[in-house]
Amino acid sequence: MSELKKINTALISVFHKDGLDEIVNALAADGVKFISTGGTKSFIESLGHECQAVEDLTGYPSIFGGRVKTLHPKIFGGILNRRSLEGDRNEAAQFEIPGIDLVIVDLYPFEATVASGASHADIIEKIDIGGISLIRAAAKNYDDVVIVASKKQYAFLAGMLDAHGASSTAEERLLLARDAFSVSSAYDSAIFNYFDKTACADIEQPTGLRVAVDGSMTMRYGENPHQQGRFFGDFNAMFDQLHGKEISYNNLLDIDAAVSLIDEFDTTTVAILKHNNACGLASRGTVAEAWRDALAGDPVSAFGGVIIANREIDAVSAEEINKIFFEVIIAPAYSDDALTILKQKKNRIILVQKEAERPAKVMRSVLNGVLVQDRDTKDETADDLKLVSGDSLSDDVAADMLFANKIVKHSKSNAIVLAKNRMLLGSGVGQTSRVDALRHAIEKANSFELDLKGSVMASDAFFPFADCVEIADKAGVTAVIQPGGSIRDTDSVDYCRDHGMTMVMTGFRHFKH
């Protein structure tokens, strides 16, 4: 541990005071003097401690409606002067600038103000100037100054004070400075994004991309062992890991695909995924029944896959699931008996999925930049089904169509899904030809002796020719759901009409590359 530096004076100006009393009391007990403004000054004094007002130190009141309070050489000189330089020490003495060794500050809630729908004028007033300047100044001079830029760092500071009183190590100051610049960069990114969206409405938007993601998790490796991999984000906000080994890069890709897919279903559903695609999926009355039929769809590909359910895993279903090897299981909850069963394999990753909002935008690095698009949240309903072949559409067939369409939406293009009675019978994914995707789906269903008679076919994009519906018809498929949009749509429609097949068009393509 490096040499400790004493904290003699602290500047504190915050909105969030939860937990601050413990910190202030600890500082005061060690003889630290306080400088503050407004409500924070009153808070410190309510704890029985003296506190100098910023305006008494600077000789200036808060002016311009509070826009200028701390922006003064006696404040910033007190933070930025380098204690190790004789010239800085002499100037500080000459201009009667007291040293400030600790800065605790938080920023005006800019993003929350934008999200609240406030007026442009109110949003502008929530652009913090003094606070962000204090953060940057103290973080720049971390060699001499401790900076706490968010209530998230209160616990760290409290632990530091508990460990060695009102003093700090160089390592602690550097860590807090890093966190401070994380706060300031995220804040500036939010402001830029707001201005880019609203202030330049006459030009193409957006003009740039500013993204700030806190939290980092090391992967065992990337897609392959010779590649390094990291995840930037808050995994723990979405999941509790109850058991198992460290999560890998490929695990995360499959987990993301699994969560995106299961979110489509309201009824009790279990899905099995392999390489981001569903190889088994069924909706049933119980988790055990859904698992049985999901596994039946492709028991071979299920080996080493990711399992996800949208209901609690009970002991009955856990007993059946435990019979195969898999990497990850995800559910909103597990019974105690189920956990005992599933934890029998030490490396098996067991996750509890929490309620968490997912980003509205999807990003992907390409070439020397980043592609950004809206998340595909279109969820077709019965109202989207335009009947183009067949006299009528039964509720049961419509339900199977929508079921299959949910799966094909989350399958790599080109994709075909075959389903019946809310069970995935076969899928062809990631093919260069839609015909190849269909043939692969049929071959898989046949290899597991699944009856395609009376099944439905879903396609992620239109059919340019009638070949797919003809092949499907001969395999036993009786109903088709597709987006439509080909200049030769009539070829497929006419075939269905001539051969007694039902076809609907939704108008929504679901490419997934």
Tokens of 295: 């596994």
**Residue 404 belongs to what H/E stretch?**
helix 395-409
Active site residue 513: no
- CB-based contacts of 354, cutoff 8 Å, min separation 6: 237, 238, 239, 240
Q: Which of 49, 126, 140, 343 is catalytic?
A: 140
Token couple for 68: 């200028």
Q: 240 with 254: CB under 8 angstroms?
A: no
Q: Report yes or no: 253 and 364 within 8 Å, Cβ to Cβ.
A: no
Q: Write the DSSP assignment of 101-121 as a string of letters.
A: -EEEE----HHHHHHTT--HH
- Comparing CA positions, the residue from 36, 41, 66 lying closest to residue 54 is 36
CA 86 to chain centre: 49
Phi, psi of 196 (to 5 degrees): -65, -30
Residues contacting residue 34 through CB under 8 Å, at least 6 positions apart: 9, 10, 11, 12, 24, 27, 28, 41, 44, 49, 50, 51, 52
Token digits of residue 325: 């090897």
Element (H, E) at 330: strand 326-331
**Catalytic member of 126, 275, 343, 345:** 275
Closest C-alpha to 218, from 208, 204, 233: 233
Residue 345 annotated as catalytic: no
Beta-carbon contacts of 479 under 8 Å, excluding residues fewer than 6 positions away, are 390, 397, 400, 401, 455, 456, 457, 501, 502, 503, 504
The set of long-range contacts for 196-203, using a CB threshold of 8 Å and a minimum separation of 24, is 198/120
Q: Which residue has the tokens 């913090």?
A: 128
| Residue 238 neighbours by CB under 8 Å, 6+ apart | 259, 353, 354, 356
CA distances in angstroms from 219 to 11, 230, 239, 246, 252, listed in the order given: 40, 5, 16, 7, 9
The angle that helices 434-447 and 467-475 make with each other, rounded to 10 degrees, is: 10
| Active site positions, annotated | 140, 275
